[in-house]
Amino acid sequence: DTEVTQTPKHLVMGMTNKKSLKCEQHMGHRAMYWYKQKAKKPPELMFVYSYEKLSINESVPSRFSPECPNSSLLNLHLHALQPEDSALYLCASSQPREGLNTGELFFGEGSRLTVL
């Protein structure tokens, strides 16, 4: 099983809403990632969890709040978003090599977020 599952596939929310994006993997990977991708742009790294601890936060605004409840799950909590936050949000996982060195990345299909 080399799947990373993201839900929901599509989400429309207002600027005052609170919602969450969810990501799940059952490959036993111990690193999980959130990327943001705008149209015709490459994925931009947002957060990395290594062994369930936040290891990279790319100065993401606090209206995005990541959570890693266990080694299989990764959430992204959304609150008071802006229309410019509309994008494809991609989750990925990898198995670190030799400690914290990056392993092969596997991506989910993404959650397409529209903020009205």
Partner 1 sequence: KQEVTQIPAALSVPEGENLVLNCSFTDSAIYNLQWFRQDPGKGLTSLLLIQSSQREQTSGRLNASLDKSSGRSTLYIAASQPGDSATYLCAVGYNNNDMRFGAGTRLTVKP
Residues near partner 1 (CB under 8 A): 31, 33, 41-45, 48, 50, 55-56, 88, 90, 92, 94, 96-97, 100-110, 112
108, two tokens: 């989910």
CB closer to partner 1 out of 64 and 94: 94
List CB contacts of 20: < 8 A, sequence separation 6 or more: 75, 76, 77, 78
CB closer to partner 1 out of 9 and 18: 9
CB closer to partner 1 out of 33 and 64: 33
Q: Residue 116 Cβ, how far from partner 1 at the closest point, in Å?
A: 19
Q: Residue 80 Cβ, how far from partner 1 at the closest point, in Å?
A: 26
Q: For tokens 């969450």, name the residue.
A: 20
Q: Residue 51 Cβ, how far from partner 1 at the closest point, in Å?
A: 10
CB closer to partner 1 out of 94 and 115: 94
